[in-house]
Amino acid sequence: MTAQSEIDEGLIEQALHWQTALESDDADWDGYMSWLEADTRHREAFDAVALVSAAVDEHKDAVRALVEARAGAQDGTERRRPGRKMWLWGGGAAAALALVAAVPMLRAPEMAVDYAADAGASRSLALAGGTHVMLSPQSRIVVHGKDATRIEMASGEAYFSVRHDPARSLTVQVGSYRITDIGTRFSVNISDGGFRVAVSEGAVGVSSEGADGEVRVTAGHQLMARQGDALALSPVAPEEIGSWRQGRLSYSNAPLSLVAADISRYSGKRIIVDPALEASHFSGTLVIGDGSRLLGDLAGVMDLSVRAENGGVRLGRAGGR
């Protein structure tokens, strides 16, 4: 990383602006990428800010004490304990610059950090090395190591934007499968017994334990896998990939179980797919809204029945067919 003296307050202020802006569902990713590529120091400043954010949950008490000690030393008063965003960045660029220097010393050289998105809200993450991740609601990843080259997809769906670097590869672990990438944009969605990886730019390689070689997935294609089944490669419109970031759930021949898992995250309802529908697939687009109409819209399009069962709902064939 660039020495602290080379990352001035102006750059930190800009990085803080983008850190906040990227949390919006309609974030200006093109504007952000233009800013990032305009000067190598921009990336270093943003990575520094991201490093602080990543360490907050792991060492929040120590960082809070650091911030409050600095603030108290300046005005001789004891500060109240505001919310995380406020106390982390409330001191502006100068405080952030101090944290950039202090926080790395708090982190273990090899650590695993959990990142999760709450219900009803996505979450934007900027990781080391120019990797950016958008988590859909109620999704979780685990980032291993300070270089963020190993990520475990734990639940839900994530959209990855990875800076091209032949000397640095990213591996996303999904159960026994590994997704390897050196610079592209793709999404990973997991549900009970299966997962889907879809590529909007570039290409990724997918391999699994005990399998020979890897499957290459290029832009405009998706790979689906279910436990015990063969890998299935098929085309998909690039604009459909990660469409939940624009308020839509778009699918191209997706297993009904995967669609149901997505709807469950957005609606808060536990959805059981009748075994008779295990082989069913769905192609189409559903508008997310507040999530309350997703299940009814899907049932209407596919002519399915919806009935309450054990605190959740069961999707079955209409009329019991």
Q: What local confidence, expressed as pLDDT, does residue 3 receive?
A: 40
Residues 274-302, buried b or exposed e (16+ Cβ, 10 A)? Answer: beebeebbbeeebebeebeebbebbbeeb
Domain count, the chain: 3
227 and 292 housed in the same domain: no
Q: What local confidence, expressed as pLDDT, does residue 58 receive?
A: 58
101 and 216 housed in the same domain: no
158 and 55 housed in the same domain: no
181 and 75 housed in the same domain: no
pLDDT along the chain (321 residues), means of 10: 55 79 71 77 74 61 59 50 45 57 52 84 86 92 88 94 87 91 92 87 88 88 79 90 93 90 92 90 94 94 92 85 52
pLDDT in tens, 273-297: 999 998 899 999 999 999 999 999 9
242 is a domain residue: no
Q: What local confidence, expressed as pLDDT, does residue 241 receive?
A: 94
Phi and psi of 97, rounded to 5°?
Answer: -65, -40
Instruction: Give the span between the Cα atoms of 61 and 53, in whole angstroms.
Output: 13
157 and 198 housed in the same domain: yes
Domain end marker among 58, 82, 107:
107
Both tokens of residue 116? 């999760």
Instruction: Give the span between the Cα atoms of 178 and 168, in whole angstroms.
Output: 16
Q: What local confidence, expressed as pLDDT, does residue 81 receive?
A: 43
**What does 254-272 look like in DSSP terms, one character per residue?**
EEHHHHHHHHHHHH---EE
| Dihedral sign from CA coordinates of 252, 255, 256, 260 | negative
Amino acid at position 191, single letter:
S
Distance of CA 189 to the CA centre of its chain: 10
Residue 69: strand, helix, or coil: helix
95 and 27 housed in the same domain: yes
Partners of residue 271 on adjacent β-strands? 313
77 is a domain residue: yes
Domain end marker among 74, 107, 140:
107
Q: What local confidence, expressed as pLDDT, does residue 120 receive?
A: 79
Question: Range of 144's domain?
Answer: 108-237
Q: What local confidence, expressed as pLDDT, does residue 80 receive?
A: 45
Domain end marker among 237, 264, 290:
237
269 and 297 housed in the same domain: yes
Domain of 229: which CATH number? Answer: 2.60.120.1440
117 and 233 housed in the same domain: yes
pLDDT in tens, 161-185: 998 888 888 999 998 889 999 889 9
Domain of 291: which CATH number? Answer: 3.55.50.30
Instruction: Give the span between the Cα atoms of 132 and 33, in whole angstroms.
Output: 11
224 and 277 housed in the same domain: no
